[in-house]
Every structure is written in C-alpha cells, then in structure tokens.
Structure 1
Amino acid sequence: MLTGHPLAFFQPFIDTATGQIAGIEALGRLRQADGSYRSVGPLFASRKVSSLDLRQLDRDIRDNALSRFREAPPDWFLSLNISPRWISRAPADQPLPSLRQVERYGIDPRRIVFEITELTGNQQRLLEVVRRYRAAGARVAIDDFGAGYSQLDRIMDLAPDILKLDMRLFQAAVRGGPSSEVVKAMALMAEKTGCRIIAEGVETEEELEFALECGARYVQGFLFAQASEQFQQADAYLERFAALRTRYVQHKLQERSRLMELRQQLSRFIQDVRSWAEGHSMISALPLPHDLPWLLRLYQCDRHGTQITPNLEWNGMFWQENRRYLNHNWSWRPYFYSLLAEGMDERRLNLSTIYRDATSNQYCITAGQFIAQGQRPLLIDIDASFLTES
C-alpha cells in the first residue's frame, strides 16, 4: 500500500575531470505524516502493490523532479529512472509520457539522461523508444551494468551513452580478486565503445581510487553525498575531491617509482646471471637472489617463443627445477611479442603489464631480455603484488 506524498530526492554525480557536480539522479521518496521519508525502491519489488499504482508513482516522482530541476544550474544533467515495463505499454503511435513531461516543464532534452533500470521486455520496442529519446536530444544510460547476466547483446544493440557499474560488483572489485578484473574489462569495453562510466556506491577512498583507475567519468556515493531534497552548490565537493584525486595520483606515482626500481634491480640481476645462462651452467652455480623477494622463476625460450629450459623457481631459500613447461610456446602472449617488437637489442629490458597467472592465481609481471647475441630471451616472472602496496 502506498502511504505518503511522493517526491524526488537528488544525489549528485561528481565529474572526475573537474571535481564539480555535473548532474543529479532523481530518487523516489514518500514523505510520511510524521515528516520522515521512505524510499520507494522496495515498493517496485513488492507484489503487494499494483502495477497501475507503481506506474503512477513513477510518473509522480519524475514530475516532481522535473518541476524542481528548472532551479538547478543550467549545465547540470538530470538522470531519470525508466523501467521497460512502462515503456512497453506506451502506444507506439503516441508521444512518450516521459518526453511529454520534459517538454511540459520547458527543459532542454539534452540535459536529460533516461536511465534504463532493467533489460526486460520486448527488445525491438525498447530499441524504438531509445531511438525516440535520442531523436529528442536526450541521452540513455544502462543501470547496474555487470549485475548477474548483463545481456551484453541487448546492451550493445541499445548503444548507451552511459553505463552505471553495478554497485555490488563494483564494491566487490575494490577488494581484489576476479571481480576486479571483470570490472576493469567492462570499463575498458565501455571506453572502446564510446560510453562514459558512472561508478555508483562510492563510499570509501579506496573505492574512489578504483573508480579513477577504471576511468570512471562520474562518481556517485556516500563518500561525497547522500540523496537529499535540496540541491547542493556545484563546487560543494571541489576541494575534497581535489585532495582525494591528488592522493590517488601520489599512490600511482609510488607504484611508478617501485616499477622503476624494479627495472633497475632486474637489470642488475640479469647481468649477474647472464654468463650462467649463456654457459648452460649447473643450477648450483646460479646466483641466489636473496635481495629480490618478489622473484618467482626464470626460464629461457628460443626466438619463436618455445621454452627450451625448465622453470628455475626461487622459493626464498634455493632454486628448484620444474620441467612441466618445457616445449610450451609463449609467443601468443603479449609480453613475448612485445619483447620481439623491441628487437634483439640486448641492452633493453622489456616488462609486461600486470596479469593474473592461471597456474598460481597470483598477479605477475614477466620481464624479458635477449641474451646470447640476440639468439634467445631470458624471461623472469615476478610477484607483482608489492607494486600496489600502500
């Protein structure tokens, strides 16, 4: 049952390029008789409320948001949640109710983002409605991108302007593990398809830093502001965001410094082992890297990428031989053909990007440098976790 007066609360989007509020999302509330407010979110998941009541509630909240948005700064955008359940019921030969509301309040449709909250219903009908939104000048966002089965084919058909990362997946990704790689891959996909990313649910500094690392254009969450009935000043979080962004850059510079130090240490180590590797000496003669706790293993390949020596694995005390990967070919891996692209200049050390090793499930970097007059590369695998330590 619906009790209370429907109205919109607004939660800001912070533009990561400027630190200023760039727009707001309208979130539904019911004002109770005692002056408190109740979120309408649970009502839309309830079977006790009729679809007719929910549709009217949805329109009342949107109407309230649009009527007040005229008071917002002229460069802000307003994000309005739209359910395909309502879209599919709109007659194809009549104006869309949501666009009629925008027109009624004299708001430039270019300032409106219609945020599609789910991907149910008739896809062709949804595509047609999205086309009409765009024809009017509005933008389209997909909410909860990455939640469950995201139906990538349907999303790509819609070609959204904005993707909002699923909050639960995003927060799990900050803690590391496979979720982190999934979110980074989705962010990269969005970048390549021209979508802007919104990271919602940003509640900690760590989550903000991860959002920046993923290239999020906008961030939204309790770290800056909860939803409120009143608009904030556009520069309300400018100084705080600038300080947090500076801290993020400092952390990345620290990572870069560690990487430069790593390169120097590896160059010295390769010089130490070069004569051993070129002479095919016994493992007992291999120098002990006691000052390189992140070193995992070394091995050699031929110029075609086929491994020609066993893995020599460092356990912190001594070297161990592992013949499991003899004759495996690694030429398909990016670090190997990057090494080939650098040529056979023995003076140049090549470092891969950080990747997750399928065997050990740990983050690694592979370093490579040609030896033996450019005839074969010496490859060294490194535990990369130390690079991101605070």
Structure 2
Amino acid sequence: ALPSLKQLSRHNVDPQRIVFEITELGGDIQRLADVVARYRHAGARIAIDDFGAGYSQLDRVLALQPDILKLDMRLFQAAALGGPSSDVVKALAQMAEKTGCWIIAEGVETEDQLNFALECGSRYVQGFLFARAQEDFFATDAFVERFAQLRQRYVQQKLGERGRLMIMRQQLCELMAILQAWALARAPLNALPQLQAFPWLLRFYQCDRHGTQLTPNLEWRNNGWEADNRYLGHNWSWRPYFYQLLAEGWDERRLTLSTTYRDATSNQYCLTAGQFFDNGERLLLIDIDAAGL
C-alpha cells in the first residue's frame, strides 16, 4: 500500500480533496505512471510541479496525463517580460488546455505578471502580489476584493486592445479599397500612394484563389516602394489564415484577419489581413506590424 493513501485513510481525509504533486525527480517513468494511476483510482488529483524546467517535460505530461500543471516560476517570470519565452509559455498553456489540465502560475509578484498569467488561461495563481507564505490558512474570501480590482483592470486593458483592433479593422477596409483600386487599374508602382496614414503596414501582395503568389511583396522602404520577388510563385494555401479566408471570405468577400504570429524572417509580431477581389479570382494580403496592439 502507498503510505500517503494509508495516511489519508487513517485520518479520514477524502482523497478527492487532495492533489499529489510530482516534483523534479528522475526515475522509471512507467513505475511513476503506475503510482499515479493508483492515486487517481483512489480519487486524488495529480499535479506536475515546475513544468518547463528539468525533468518536468512533455514526455512526463503525456505519460501521466496530470490534472494540474504548475508553471516553473523562473520560466514564468521571464516569459511575463515578453520575447520568445512568452510564446513558449503561451504554447505550453494552450497544450495544457487541450489536454484538460489546469494551469497554476507560481511567482506572481506584480500586476503585469498576473495579467500574463490570465493571458495564459491560468486557473490559479500564487505569489507575493497577494501575500507571503504564512503558517495559518487564510480565510477563503481573503483575496476576493483585491483580485476583483485587478481582474477589472485586466478586462479594461483587454477591451482597450480590442478597441484598437476594431479601429485598425476600419482602417484596413480603407486601405484594402485603395490597394484594390490600384491593382484593378494595373497601374505602375510609381502610381501607388505613399500611405503614411497606415504606419503599421509592412507589405502587401496578391495571390490567386488557390494560394499561389502572383505579385512580388511590395514594401515601403527608403521613402519609396520596393518590390521583393523572392516569393513569386510560392503557394501559401497551407497557412492557417489562408484556408480561414477560403472558408469565411470567399462567398461574402469580407475582410478576414489572422491571429498574431511571429514572422520568422523579420522576427516581428504580425497579423495578416486578406480579402478576395476581382470577382473572387485574386486575393489581396496585407501584413501588419502588431506591436502597436
């Protein structure tokens, strides 16, 4: 018998109130999986601690299928500052969500870190932003008012981001009309306006309805439009935003906007907007600098 389960039985503690936490230890993962199965059969839940560091890696998650993942504090705090580690932690959180895990963010010491934890979909947070560790338990409602204030500020921040995105959508509709008129007229490059009203514009190009690029990438550089021919003839139909366009934008010819992604060439955060025109035979795609959002 497992000593921990015997202890629960001896003190008449319901196993459903218990979470067994697996820390960074090596060993036989199959044996560990067998022990986890016994805990789960008894009704307890399983957490993996310090996920993202040391031994707590994906093979362990796949083998044990935990109920809870506790993000490694150092990884989480670094990710909250932005940059590549931020993308990694968000991807880990998405993976956890898809496998039915709850996320716990440890080391939440600032409001920005709390906002990042909420951005990752954390079900629970712990850290000095609320209180330092104490010997006695806190009252169950000790942090309700404080968290409600912080949550409201976070929601207002996200509403502001959505508002800026809606303004950009309106501007994108104006830009699409300008560029489509230029493309339909088959005007030369020097007839293209400078478009200073759209400072977030990175580049634009045209594809056929099957995703093959018909024109060079056109970018505003050195006070003039420049054509980059490297991607002529490339097919982008496999990209998520393209089949989203086919599914949502073909019949209505409406503007579709991708989710934010990091461009591998420029290392910038981008969005891609697309809209069919020319009786649905051509697709105009606009890459946008998402930093302002």
> Shorter-chain TM-score: what band?
over 0.9
Measure how far apart 1:345 and its partner are: 4.3
Task: Name the count of aligned residue pairs.
Answer: 293
Measure how far apart 1:267 and its partner are: 0.3
Distance 1:350 1:97 in 2: 58
Measure how far apart 1:322 and its partner are: 1.1
Q: 1:295 aligns with which of 192, 201, 204?
A: 201
Measure how far apart 1:343 and its partner are: 4.0
Distance 2:57 2:263 in 1: 28
Q: 2:85 aligns with which of 179, 186, 190?
A: 179
Aligned to 2:2: 96
Partner secondary structure for residue 358 of structure 1: coil
Measure how far apart 1:150 and its partner are: 3.7
Q: 1:168 aligns with which of 71, 74, 78?
A: 74
Distance 1:228 1:214 in 2: 27
Deviations, residues 6-40 of structure 1 (Å, cap 9, x unaligned): xxxxxxxxxxxxxxxxxxxxxxxxxxxxxxxxxxx
Aligned to 1:21: none
Q: What amino acid sits opposite 1:176 in the alignment?
A: G
Q: 2:141 aligns with which of 213, 235, 244?
A: 235
Distance 1:316 1:261 in 2: 27
Task: Point out where structure 2 has 5 or more consecutive residues left out of the alignment.
Answer: none
Measure how far apart 1:346 and its partner are: 6.3
Q: 1:260 aligns with which of 166, 171, 181?
A: 166
1:335 aligns with 2:236: no
Q: Which portions of structure 1, spanning 4 or more consecutive aligned residues, are displaced by more than 4 angstroms?
A: none
Partner secondary structure for residue 301 of structure 1: strand
1:201 aligns with 2:201: no
Distance 2:249 2:167 in 1: 23
Query: What is the 5 A alignment of 1:121-160?
Result: 121-148=27-54, 150-160=56-66
Q: 1:351 aligns with which of 240, 257, 260?
A: 257
Deviates more, 1:338-347 or 1:268-277: 338-347
Measure how far apart 1:154 and its partner are: 2.6
Measure how far apart 1:151 and its partner are: 3.3
Contact between 1:346 and 1:373, CA under 8 Å: does it hold in 2?
Answer: no
Q: What amino acid sits opposite 1:355 in the alignment?
A: Y
Partner secondary structure for residue 270 of structure 2: strand
Distance 1:178 1:281 in 2: 41
CA RMSD of aligned residues (A): 1.4
Tell me the percent identity.
70
Larger radius of gyration between Structure 1 and Structure 2: 1
Distance 1:112 1:222 in 2: 24
User: Structure 1 residues 276 and 332 mapped into 2: Cα distance closer, same or farther (>3 Å)?
Assistant: same
Query: What is the 5 A alignment of 1:47-62?
Result: none
Q: TM-score, normalised by structure 2?
A: 0.96
Contact between 1:349 and 1:369, CA under 8 Å: does it hold in 2?
Answer: yes
Q: TM-score, normalised by structure 1?
A: 0.73
Contact between 2:48 and 2:56, CA under 8 Å: does it hold in 1?
Answer: no
Distance 1:186 1:248 in 2: 22
Task: Point out where structure 1 has 5 or more consecutive residues left out of the alignment.
Answer: 1-94
1:282 aligns with 2:205: no
Contact between 1:303 and 1:377, CA under 8 Å: does it hold in 2?
Answer: yes
User: Structure 1 residues 261 and 156 mapped into 2: Cα distance closer, same or farther (>3 Å)?
Assistant: same
Deviations, residues 100-124 of structure 1 (Å, cap 9, x unaligned): 2222322111111110002411222
Distance 2:291 2:222 in 1: 16
Per chain length, whose mean CA-contact separation is higher, i.e. which structure has more relative contact order (CA < 8 Å, sep 6+)? Answer: 1
Measure how far apart 1:329 and its partner are: 1.1
Distance 1:381 1:150 in 2: 37
Partner secondary structure for residue 164 of structure 1: strand
Q: What amino acid sits opposite 2:165 in the alignment?
A: L
User: Structure 1 residues 288 and 149 mapped into 2: Cα distance closer, same or farther (>3 Å)?
Assistant: farther
Aligned to 1:315: 221
Contact between 1:346 and 1:374, CA under 8 Å: does it hold in 2?
Answer: no
